[in-house]
Amino acid sequence: MNNKAEDPSLWNDAAEAQKLMRERQQLDESISGLRRLEQQLKDNIELIELGEDEGDSAIVTEAEEALRQLRSEAVKKQVEAMLSGEADRNDTYLEVHSGAGGTESQDWANMLLRMYTRWAERQGYKVELLEVQDGEEAGIKSATLLVKGHNAYGWLKTESGVHRLVRISPYDSNARRHTSFSSIWVYPVVDESIQIDINESDCRIDTYRSSGAGGQHVNTTDSAVRITHMPSGIVVQCQQERSQHKNRAKAWDMLRARLYEAELKKREEAANAEAASKTDIGWGHQIRSYVLQPYQLVKDLRTGVESTSPSDVLDGELDDFMEAALAHRVSGGADAVVEDLS
C-alpha cells in the first residue's frame, strides 16, 4: 500500500485513491496499536523483575496495574478482530423508537438516544441527528442518528433489539414503579461499491413540516421527506436539512442502507439459523434490562454481562456489553463470553 500511495498515477482515479489512503491509514493505526501493546507488555514485565530484584513493592504494584489495563485494551483489540463482516467498517444509522406506554416510553427513548450519542462521542465518532419526532409531553417518539467513524456499524450492530427500563416514574404523582420499552435498530451506510437497485414505483414519497426548534425556514415549509418501500414495509424519513431536495437524497440513501441491511440479516440468519432480533416492542423480546429501582442493575439477557452502575451505562459506557455481544455472536456461547471477559 505504501508503494501504491507513492505512485503518481494513483490519483488519476480520485475515488480509488481516497479508498486506498483510508484503508492504509486504518491498517497503519492497527499495526501501531499492536506494536505499542507489545512494547508496553515488555516494559512492564521488566519493571516487575526489577522491582522484585530490588525489593521495591511499589514498582511491582504499579506495573501490575498497568498490565491489567493493558489486558483490557488487548481484549478490546481481540474483539475488533472479529469485525470482519461485509459492512462492519462502514458508518451506520441508528434508529430509536419508543414502545407502547406514552410519555414513559418516549422519555426512555430519549434517554437511549442520549446514551448512544455519548458512547459515539467517547469513541471519537461524528454524530448527526437526521430526524426526530418529539413526544407530546416529554421525550421522543422516534429519532435517527448517523454515526460516522471506522467500524461504527461493526460495534453498534449488536445493539439492535428491545431495551427495557424499570424505575420509579418521574411522571407518576404516586411514585409507582413503571416498566418501559424502546427499540433500537442499526443498519450500515451503503458505500459506492455496493449496488442496491430500487424500483421507484414501489415507493411512496411524502413531505411534511419538520418538527423541533428549527429556524425561520425549517418549520414553515414541507422540507421533511418520508419514503415508504411498499414491498418490504420499510419506512425512512429525514428532516435534517432545510432543503427538501437534500432531505430526499439522504432519505434515498437511508432506504438503500435499510434494504442492504435486510439482505445482510437474511444471509446471517441462513448461516446461523438465528431468529431476527427486531420483534414486538414489549415483554419477552428485550435484549437488555436497565433496572434503576428497587435496585441498580443493567443486564444483557443474551450474554449475561452485568453492570451495577446504570448511571455510567446511560452515560455511554457500553464497551463491555458490545464486546461480549460480538464475542457471543462469533462463539455462540454466553457462558464462555462472560467468563472470558470477566
Convert the pLDDT of each residue in 124-159 to its tens digit. 999 999 989 998 888 999 999 999 998 899 999 999
192: pLDDT strictly greater than 70: no
Lowest pLDDT segment from 163-167, 272-276, 317-321: 272-276
CA distance to 126, 212, 312, per residue, from 111 (Å) = 19, 17, 13
279: pLDDT strictly greater than 80: no
Compute the half-sphere exposure of residue 204: CA atoms within 13 Å on the CB side of its CA. Answer: 8
> Where residue 113 falls among pLDDT bands split at 50, 70, 90?
very high
| Mean pLDDT over each residue of the chain, to the nearest integer | 84
Amino acid 269: pLDDT:
67
267: pLDDT strictly greater than 70: no
Amino acid 280: pLDDT:
55
Convert the pLDDT of each residue in 298-322 to its tens digit. 999 999 999 999 999 999 999 999 9
Cα 198 to Cα 190: distance, rounded to the nearest angstrom: 13
Cα 225 to Cα 246: distance, rounded to the nearest angstrom: 9
- Give 62 or 335, the one with higher predicted confidence: 62
Convert the pLDDT of each residue in 203-232 to its tens digit. 999 988 776 554 444 455 678 899 999 988
Amino acid 340: pLDDT:
46
Q: What is the mean pLDDT of residues 292-300?
A: 94
Amino acid 273: pLDDT:
47
Cα 163 to Cα 180: distance, rounded to the nearest angstrom: 8
Pick from 126, 242, 122, 260: which is nearest to 186 by CA? Answer: 260
Amino acid 106: pLDDT:
94
Cα 103 to Cα 90: distance, rounded to the nearest angstrom: 34
Contacts 24+ apart (CB under 8 A), 294-303: 294/177, 300/324, 300/325, 302/328, 302/334, 303/327, 303/328, 303/334, 303/337, 303/338
Asked if the domains 92-192+272-341 and 200-269 are classified in one and the same CATH topology, the answer is no
> Where residue 14 falls among pLDDT bands split at 50, 70, 90?
confident
CA distance to 37, 133, 302, 314, per residue, from 68 (Å) = 12, 44, 26, 25
Lowest pLDDT segment from 6-20, 101-115, 322-336: 322-336
Most confident of 84-88, 243-247, 290-294: 290-294
Residue type, 43: D
The CATH number of domain 200-269, selected from 3.30.160.20, 1.10.10.10, 1.10.287.610, 1.20.120.1200: 3.30.160.20
191: pLDDT strictly greater than 60: yes
> Where residue 283 falls among pLDDT bands split at 50, 70, 90?
low
Cα 23 to Cα 84: distance, rounded to the nearest angstrom: 14
> Where residue 81 falls among pLDDT bands split at 50, 70, 90?
confident
The CATH number of domain 92-192+272-341, selected from 1.20.120.1200, 3.40.190.10, 3.30.70.1660, 3.10.580.10: 3.30.70.1660
Cα 121 to Cα 138: distance, rounded to the nearest angstrom: 24
Domain boundaries, the chain: 2-80, 92-192+272-341, 200-269
Residue 186: strand pairing partners: 94
DSSP track, 21-69: HHHHHHHHHHHHHHHHHHHHHHHHHHHHHHHHHHT-HHHHHHHHHHHHH
